[in-house]
Amino acid sequence: MAGHSHWAGIKHRKAAQDKKRSKYFSKFSKAIMIAAKEGGGNPDKNLKLRYAIDKARAGNMPNASIERAIKKATGELGNVTFDEIVYEGYAPGGVAIIAEVVTDNRNRTAPEMRNLFNKHGGNLGSPGSVSFMFDKKGLIAVPRAAAGEDEVLEVALEAGAEDVTPGEEEFEIVTDPAEFEAVKEALKAKGWELTTAEIAWVPQTEVTPPSEHVSKVEAILEALEDHDDVQNVYSNYAPAQE
């Protein structure tokens, strides 16, 4: 399935978050603030905010920090303005990259993104230059220990999932973004832990670059993950099988 490389990417990103927890709290805060500013501070009436809060809680962000981010966005703690931007580009070896950014200063972030790609031998492209090679999908994972395959398959598909694949440790569920919330809630209603629940850019095909480009590809991905303004990084990079 095309999404398999992204499941590996999710696990890699979670490990990185554990090492840089305070940095990721800042990223969670930005996502919460922009959602609350757009649709209000009530997660029951603002699906985007509820999704941002769920992601922050999954990353062990304290409730007090979540509430503070909402209050900042709704003006209770002063005015703040953030923009959401999607940057697209290529790493060496033809690897396509999408970076979702939340920034309070477009004029600062744009040259930083361009310099980051250039530094590692890549190229920042124009909007649409690589996104046509990806599909927006909901990705949800349930531990295999939580339930049997038949039950997970039945619940997920009845709720609107497109596909359920048994992985080594998890059942990997793919949805259309419009069905993501319904599938997620159906799985949670069974009392199952969701180890992944996000809407992501999933590559239609994967690229394994020549060995001489691998270090630069991984350097670009790591630098993007580490950038304060970058919320999520997606690529069609597939490491060579050993």
Q: To which H or E segment does residue 241 belong?
A: none
Residues whose CB falls within 8 Å of the CB of residue 155, separated by 6 or more in sequence, listed in order: 186, 187, 190
Domains, the chain, in order of start with CATH, read: 4-73 (1.10.10.200), 83-132+206-235 (3.30.70.980), 134-203 (3.30.70.980)
Residues 73/49/197/162 CA torsion (nearest 10 deg): -140
Greatest alpha-carbon pair distance for the chain in Å reads: 54
Amino acid at 54: D
Tokens of 223: 């630098």
pLDDT number for residue 159: 95
pLDDT number for residue 22: 53
Compute φ and ψ for 101, nearest 5 degrees. Answer: -120, 145
d(CA 110, CA 124): 10
218 neighbors 103 (Cβ within 8 angstroms): no
pLDDT number for residue 70: 85
- What's the average pLDDT block by block, 10 residues per block, for the chain (242 residues)? 50 50 73 84 86 84 84 72 90 94 89 95 94 93 90 94 89 93 93 87 90 92 88 88 68
pLDDT number for residue 23: 63
Tokens of 199: 């809407």
pLDDT number for residue 103: 87
Q: Which residue blocks in 74-148 are alpha helix, DSSP H?
A: 106-119
pLDDT number for residue 9: 56
CA 228 to each of CA 100, 141, 164, 219, 223: distance values in angstroms, whole numbers, following the listed order: 11, 27, 34, 16, 10
pLDDT number for residue 6: 53
pLDDT number for residue 2: 40
How many CB atoms are closer than 10 A to CB 137? 21
* CA angle 98–102–108, rounded 5-degree value: 95
Residues whose CB falls within 8 Å of the CB of residue 221, separated by 6 or more in sequence, listed in order: 91, 97, 233, 235, 237
pTM of this prediction exceeds 0.85: no
CA 221 to each of CA 91, 122, 149, 230: distance values in angstroms, whole numbers, following the listed order: 9, 11, 34, 11
